[in-house]
Structure 1
Amino acid sequence: MNEQEKSDGIKRVIPARYNRLMTDPLLREIVSGLDGVAEALAAKQQANVLFDELGTPPPDYAREAAGFIGSGKVDKDWIGRVAKDELAKLVRAEQRKHVSDLINGCLTQLDSIAEYSVDDVLAELDTRLQELVQPLYAAGEKLTGVDTPTDAIRRGLTEEWRLFADAAIEYAKIRAAQKIAVSVAPEEFKDRGQSAACEDPHANSSVIANIAEVWESWNTPPQAELAWSDNDEGDRVARWVRPRVEAPWPVQTDEFLLWCIRNDAELRVPDLGQM
């Protein structure tokens, strides 16, 4: 967690993990409902009001004294004002410090909640994913023999396909939120489930729980092959390359979801311990 110094010299904590989660609309909704978030935000808002009400420190009376020298006249009440305002300045500085510490405490709490609630966030994303997928099974049965939107239109099954098209939009939001949520977790949890053979983002055990059942070779890189090419000098050179591995499912998300339904692929959002 970093700090940022404001123009008035006050340092503010930057809740990087919390801020990262709040960049995503779906995560913003979920994180706002986590235990302690509403309370920390309310306390922070009230502390900000207090801080603003304290205002800035009083002016420097040394300048006023310099004016007396130039004019030859000293205001009798000047030294009294100095004493009063200097005392007020000390009190106000302490008040601002303690209110600033309160604000930083709220920001620290928000960041701590973000750090230690990743599993809670992922669990909520998984719940939403399962609710999204469940209605697709019945629609998938009606789409037997249909693989594309064009096929659906030709067969008069546009409503059934629309379920998959709409689900694809929400599915993309869930996966985007999952990626951000995992990004605030410790480094060892990132990209652990990605296939060593295929770059397709769905070729990941964090996406399909039973991926080894629906695609046996999902994590087995193919044998490298010898490829010849010309270098900058025009000489023929050889190098070993691995052939690109294509996933067995379609590229389009709606068609991918239909493929998963037909092949009993178990879509999921795992918690950190399951990754």
Structure 2
Amino acid sequence: MARDPWSAGSVPSAPSAIACSAIKDWFASAAECTLSRVWVIHKCPRLIYMTGTHIADQLIKDQPMSHEMCAVIMRRFGQIDATLNCDEPGLRWRKFMEPDFATFAIADGELTTIRSIQQQFKQDPMSFKVASCHMFYAPAILPLGWCLYAFDFTKKKITVLDPLVGTTGFSNESIRLHEYATGKILDGLFLCARHFYSNWPYKTERWTRDFPMIMEDNFTSEESGLCVTFLSKFFDGEKLVKSLNKENLELHRHTLLYDVMRLKDNISLVPSDVLEFIKTSFHVL
């Protein structure tokens, strides 16, 4: 298995604060006719279209994170891990699932027949051996907001990372909800793994669940999607390597804007044109 990014030294450096600020300022003053254009056209594992307005509303303003935005961010996180991987080619420590996986799993969908889910598992083994991953991160949107489930396949442990528990902890009701959801998602992971791989070595028996209190502040349902992307990026399987509080979450928001603008395989040329304009005008990036 691959090493985690922190011990392997493959954690990306934070983008320049000046660059992030320049992008944010550009968005704040951009004309609506520019923002209304399609900024993201990304085909795999399923086609996503996203306008600049959609991006600005969620990553500059305070609108709740959409299913599509979370999917785009998970794709970008996976791209960054692939670019910085310093282990054997194809080995990756973690797999960022897109939120449709948890949505369909909880709803008892026919997972192995859904194209977007097939594409998340059936990747080129030379570039990504999905079956060798140590961790699977599954963001899920539940009735009250977003949460992240981290599945550790070596320790057979599910860590429930729920931003809405804040500093008070899990209620009995929320624990029951998460136990139900994680059971469905775990079954879905094993169903897909056994369907797509002939050498899947793991068993479903004797998995444990952990419900840590790792939030330093209390967060709203509207903030929970942003929190889940933070947790996906900074949870190392045991703890957060960066504290989740209001200040760090706001800095993370600006970094996400930078990351989405640099999404690879984006067919739309608008982000690259805007980045080139910012680079030329402000001498950043």
Could you state the TM-score of these two structures normalised by the residue count of structure 1? 0.22
Higher-RCO chain (CA-CA 8 Å, sequence separation at least 6): 2
More strand by share: 2
Structure with max Cα Rg: 1
More helix by share: 1
